[in-house]
Amino acid sequence: MKADPAGVLTGVHYLDGDYACGEGAMAAGCRFVAGYPITPSTEVVERISRRFPMMGGTFIQMEDELASMAAVAGAAWTGTKCMTVTSGPGFSLMMENIGLATMMEAPCVVVNVQRGGPSTGLPTMVGQADMMQARWGSHGDYELIALSPQSPQEAFDLTIEAFNLAETWRVPVMFMMDECVGHMTEKVVIPPADQIEIVPRKLTSKPPGEYKPYEVNGRPVPEMVRAGDGYRFHTTGLTHDERGYPVMSVECQEVSVRRLIDKIRLNADQIVRYEEEDVDGAEVVVVAYGITARVTRAGIDLARAQGVKVGFLRLVVVWPFPERRIRELAGKVKAFVVPEINYGQMVLEVERCAGGKAPAVLVPHGGGGVHDPRAICQAIVEAAR
């Protein structure tokens, strides 16, 4: 369906990534946000709390991030699209109920404007070191979806995409911004509402009594209902059967957890999204995401000036990872180069998928700033030798 015009601030704006993310959420139909202030993410909820009262939205500043994520996991069952926003330290606290939302299959969006860590780290400065936490930061085995925007424009566009993916696959979607994109102001074009496609909550057509919350009948994702519609359903963070009733058995664990994983893994081709540039015939392919993707392109320009054939693969959806594409490229390139603002996270995935056919060279950055394009260029030139 098309977006609700009440939430769409159509026009050409000059916005920072945080504000653009907030606008994306409102355009996507988000009408409930629970959050706790934390630099550098707070501007997202500041924007939302200023505009929500005029569009039937409710923002609540909770007592902490545990509560924020729990409230979002609850609100997801009302049909009201919902989101929470944080940065590293808060992301750690949210992990508990991100697990709950994953287990209950409660659609929602979690924005993490990444800063330098560990612990309190660099509150006002950039990091990209929560990428693995986004995937498996909560305990237990699961798969979810994560995206990483490279600009305020994408902070808008991909936030809408994040909500749509959350509805389609009934997972919490991690929106992995970084401080640089969040605090960077650029032109953001917000189209008219009738040009914004949003995925509405799909409710079951079954009547109460016949409906089982986790029955799939061969589909990857079960049908949903809303609290208050008379279904009197039950859901739990415990391992559960089709009725949503706890079952403590190896068999039920196998069926239910396997499905949580398979709904993403087996459908990864529908979810994975990346952009390529000059990959055909490249000696070296650089893989990057978020702000680092832009800085990388500056590094690639420098390397091309030195005659190296460089391709670029930018991760838009970070999880699930484009395994198949990296595997294909591994047979064709001399090496992958992976710059990221950490000491080696997504590079591990590239290395795994390359399967020894091509090395994956990390260009690390400890955080607090972005790479010098010359360092990326140097890594590319060396990898091409």
Q: Could you say which residues in the range 207-246 bind another protein, by CB under 8 A?
A: 226-238, 243, 245-246
| Site track 317-356 with another protein (rule: CB under 8 A), x = hit | ----------------------------------------
- Residues of this chain, 12-31, that bind another protein according to CB under 8 A: 12-14, 16, 29, 31
Radius of gyration of the chain (CA): 21
Q: Which residues of 137-153 are buried (b: 16+ CB within 10 A; e: fewer)?
A: bbeeebbbbbbbbbbbb
x/- site string to another protein, residues 179 to 208, per CB under 8 A? -x--xxxxx----------x-xx-------
Question: Which one of residues 8, 20, 34, 313 is an interface residue with another protein (CB under 8 A)?
Answer: 34
Under a CB-based contact definition with an 8 Å cutoff, are residues 360 and 351 in contact? Answer: yes
Contacts 24+ apart (CB under 8 A), 23-26: 23/47, 23/156, 23/159, 23/188, 23/190, 24/155, 24/156, 24/157, 24/158, 24/159, 24/160, 24/162, 25/83, 25/109, 25/159, 25/163, 26/51, 26/52, 26/55, 26/57
- Is residue 265 within the footprint of another protein (CB under 8 A)? no
Instruction: Pull the structure tokens for residue 235.
Output: 């859901």
Stretch that binds another protein, among 52-60, 269-277, 325-333, 334-342 (CB under 8 A): 52-60
Choose among 116, 175, 188: nearest CA to 144: 175
Name the one range near another protein by CB under 8 A: 60-68, 270-278, 347-355, 358-366: 60-68
Cβ of residue 364: shortest distance to another protein, in angstroms? 18
The distance of closest approach from Cβ of residue 67 to another protein in the complex, given in angstroms and rounded to an integer, is: 4
- Name the minimum Å distance from CB 101 to another protein: 10
Please give the single-letter amino acid code of residue 319: W
Q: Is 369 in the site for another protein (CB under 8 A)?
A: yes
Among positions 109-128, residues that touch another protein (CB under 8 A) are 124
Q: Which is nearer to another protein, 47 or 325 (CB)?
A: 47
Positive/negative CA dihedral, 164, 167, 169, 173: positive
Q: Which of 20, 25, 27, 67 binds another protein (CB under 8 A)?
A: 67
